[in-house]
Amino acid sequence: PRPTSLQVSATQPFSLDEYLLSKKGPIESALEASVKSRIPQTDKICESMSYSLMAGGKRIRPVLCLAACEMFGGTEEMAMPTAVALEMIHTMSLIHDDLPSMDNDDLRRGKPTNHVIYGEDVAILAGDAMLSTSFEHVARYTKGVSADKILDVIARMGKSVGAEGLAGGQVMDLECEGKPGTTLEDLKWIHIHKTATLLQVAVASGAVLGGASPSEVEACEKFAMNIGLAFQVADDILDVTASSEDLGKTAGKDEATDKTTYPKLLGLEESKAYARQLIDEAKECLAPFGDRAAPLLAIADYIVDRKN
Ligand code: GRG
């Protein structure tokens, strides 16, 4: 039988490319099925949801969730509904982030943003629908896991979207925009809530579903908080260093606006060193899990080495 991607052997080096490829098909199929219109009346809103959900994101959150579940002996099937739900939450946050009342962006991943295609009204509603569907998805489709674990995942997801998560982080971000004197602490707070929290829920939920103990879930949360922050530092660095083609958006936009970024506060080289330090600290958290952590460790490196 074909070895599963998780059978990491000491003699064969782990290949992240192969691992990501093995996860891509199942994730894309599950995402596509999750927003299919079942009645003609929902065709328009489902088309708008699908337009953004299937627009070629990196799928980091679903992959983190599956990898964490498998690290503790769980299966891909156990974590897939949660993986899909997290990508739905991520996607709806991007749709709302791009709206004229927020960042007012016309391009996302090199394509017109949702509201440019479907109008602001439908884009808002598609985001709302995706958010509520994400919770329904976990509750309805998670199989082979006890109800208390599913409830734990739903609670984590709820917190990550609310005032102590994406929404709160976005409000603080809007408040700080253009405000002189935004500090490193402010920036860190924004990024923990806007970015790191959802990555943290991805890893922690996968761990919970896979059967991790509370202390193991905690180690996973520390790992994910560090990679989440590093992810955002890397994003700010890429915005300075990458071409628009790499990013599929207007490179250097944050440079040109008065948005506070890590390179602006720390300088480029120190920002790179900070991202690397966060990744090293993250990887230490997974030391107790040995070879079983290979996929998550490789994803951590990818987060700072990526080109988009
Ligand atoms: C969640 C209720 C609710 C409202 C949304 C707009 C908003 C509140 C929050 C903004 C969240 C936001 C846009 C955070 C930035 C996250 C981030 C780092 C996005 C880029 O993630 P990637 O690189 O994107 O994983 P891809 O394109 O690969 O999917």
CATH number at residue 288: 1.10.600.10
The answer as to whether 169 is a domain residue is yes
104 Cα to the center of ligand 1, angstroms: 14
The answer as to whether 36 is a domain residue is yes
The answer as to whether 10 is a domain residue is no
The answer as to whether 4 is a domain residue is no
Least confident of 94-98, 196-200, 246-250: 246-250
What is residue 199's predicted lDDT score, i.e. its pLDDT? 97
Closest-CA residue, ligand 1 atom 18, reads 195
Does the CB atom of residue 235 touch ligand 1 within 6 A? yes
Q: What secondary structure letter does DSSP report for 195?
A: I
Does the CB atom of residue 96 touch ligand 1 within 6 A? yes
Q: What is the ipTM of this complex?
A: 0.97
Does the CB atom of residue 303 touch ligand 1 within 6 A? no
Least confident of 58-67, 194-203, 255-264, 296-305: 255-264
List helix spans (H) across 55-119: 60-71, 76-98, 114-118
Closest-CA residue, ligand 1 atom 5, reads 93
Question: Which ligand 1 atom is the nearest neighbour of the CA of 235?
Answer: 18
Backbone angles phi, psi at 101, to 5 degrees: -80, -10
Domain of residue 269: give its range.
Answer: 16-305
CA atoms within 13 A on the CB side of 81: 18
Does the CB atom of residue 97 touch ligand 1 within 6 A? yes
Which whole-number Å values give the CA distances from 73 to 10, 66, 84, 110, 216, in the listed order?
A: 18, 11, 20, 38, 13
Q: Which residues, other chains included, contact 117 with Cβ-Cβ below 8 Å and sequence gap of 6+?
A: 48, 51
pLDDT digits (tens, 9 = 90+) for 254-292: 555 678 899 999 999 999 999 999 999 999 999 999 999
The answer as to whether 99 is a domain residue is yes
What is residue 58's predicted lDDT score, i.e. its pLDDT? 94
What is residue 179's predicted lDDT score, i.e. its pLDDT? 83
Does the CB atom of residue 194 touch ligand 1 within 6 A? yes
SS3 state at 112: strand
Are the CB atoms for 66 and 76 separated by under 8 Å? yes
pLDDT digits (tens, 9 = 90+) for 209-243: 999 999 999 999 999 999 999 999 999 999 898 75
Residue with tokens 């009342």, as numbered in its chain: 101
Q: Distance between CA 42 and CA 116 in Å, rounded?
A: 20
Does the CB atom of residue 283 touch ligand 1 within 6 A? no
Q: State mean pLDDT over 37-49.
A: 97
